[in-house]
Structure 1
Amino acid sequence: MRTDRLAREFPVEFRWYVFPLHPETPEEGMELTDLLKIPAEQLAPMQARVREVAAAEGLPLAERSRTYNSRRAQELGKWAETRGVGDAWRQAVYRAFFVEGRNIALVEELARLAVEVGLDGEAVKAVLAQERFAAAVDADWQRAEEAGISAVPSHICEGTRLVGFAKYQDFLRLIGRG
């Protein structure tokens, strides 16, 4: 990934914030065609273009027809960070959602993911029920709104924003090295 390369080559530190990507999506998910309000025949070519970009980055990305609500996964991501497995959690959630098509809104699914990264699957239920990290997610969502972020991925460095799957040269310019 370009951000991994950037971190290897330059003294940059990334801080990850979550974003309210379609928070209105119900727990059972919804069809992408309904979410995007497009006819079914437009979805496959659109996804093919996104998969090309992902492949160029070395990111696996499966064709999918549904999307799921990520709020609970975001809260658990904040918890995972406090346990030292934030990166592993982000990677596991990415794989589950974008590669395997798993419903990351379901508590039981999230508990399985937690175990995969070395967290206590039973603790997932308590963390979510007690809303231990809800305020942290709310703060990130507020920060995104205040920054005018409306798409992911978005990267910000000293007030300059880079949105979308940008070229490495664009990242170099973002950090003042290109």
Structure 2
Amino acid sequence: MAQMKATAAGLGLELGDRKMTYNSRLAQEAGLWAETKGKGQQFHMEAFRTYFVHGENIADKAVLLGMIKRSGLDPKEGEAVIDKRLFSKAVDLDWDLAEKSGIIAVPTFRMGQDKIVGAKPYETLKKMVEKYAE
């Protein structure tokens, strides 16, 4: 965790002391909805802050609705998306694609037959990109 905090600090990202791992499924569904509304980046950054900085339970509906509101989205519409699970099948398809692609963790960077899993130094990614740029 210390290395991850140092890396995050070097990138200007705050990282809190997360004590629990919460199910992110509903947040993933809300994130896909946010993308259709042109607010995907805002929502994903809000999800990062909520989960990794503040350690809140992003599976909790009230927490999710707060994230939706802070992202500039309509909380009433967001509540319907969550309650009706409108993006559940889309997330299932994303998970299926990840599994078929051999992705078991995030982040995963894949080029050709090479794969880098987890938070790695910039130089590690640079070497892989340079290998395939030749």
Q: 2:26 aligns with which of 50, 68, 72?
A: 72
The code of the aligned residue for 1:65 comes to K
TM-score computed with the length of structure 2 as normaliser? 0.87
TM-score computed with the length of structure 1 as normaliser? 0.67
Q: How does 1:108-123 map onto structure 2 within 5 Å?
A: 108-123=62-77
The code of the aligned residue for 1:145 comes to E
Q: Distance in 1 between matches of 2:69 and 2:110?
A: 32
Aligned length: 132
Q: 1:174 aligns with which of 124, 128, 134?
A: 128
Q: Is residue 109 of structure 2 the alignment partner of residue 155 of structure 1? A: yes
Q: How much does 1:159 deviate? A: 5.0
Taking only aligned residues, the RMSD between alpha carbons, in angstroms, comes to 1.8
Q: Distance in 2 between matches of 1:80 and 1:159?
A: 32
Q: 1:142 aligns with which of 71, 96, 106?
A: 96
Which residue in the other structure is 1:104 paired with? 58
The code of the aligned residue for 2:33 comes to W
Q: Is the 8 A contact 2:68 2:74 kept in 1?
A: yes
What is the aligned-residue identity percentage? 39
Q: Is the 8 A contact 1:114 1:120 kept in 2?
A: yes
Higher helix share: 2
Report the 3-state secondary structure (helix = DSSP H, G, I; strand = E; otherwise coil) of the residue aligned with 1:162. strand
Q: Distance in 1 between matches of 2:50 and 2:79?
A: 19
Spell out, residue by residue over 1:126-173, the C-alpha distance to the aligned partner (whole angstroms, 9 max, x if none): 112222111111011111211222222112234532211222233233
Q: Is the 8 A contact 2:15 2:53 kept in 1?
A: yes
Q: 1:93 aligns with which of 28, 31, 47?
A: 47
Report the 3-state secondary structure (helix = DSSP H, G, I; strand = E; otherwise coil) of the residue aligned with 2:97. helix
Spell out, residue by residue over 1:44-83, the C-alpha distance to the aligned partner (whole angstroms, 9 max, x if none): xxx3232123223332111121121100000000001101
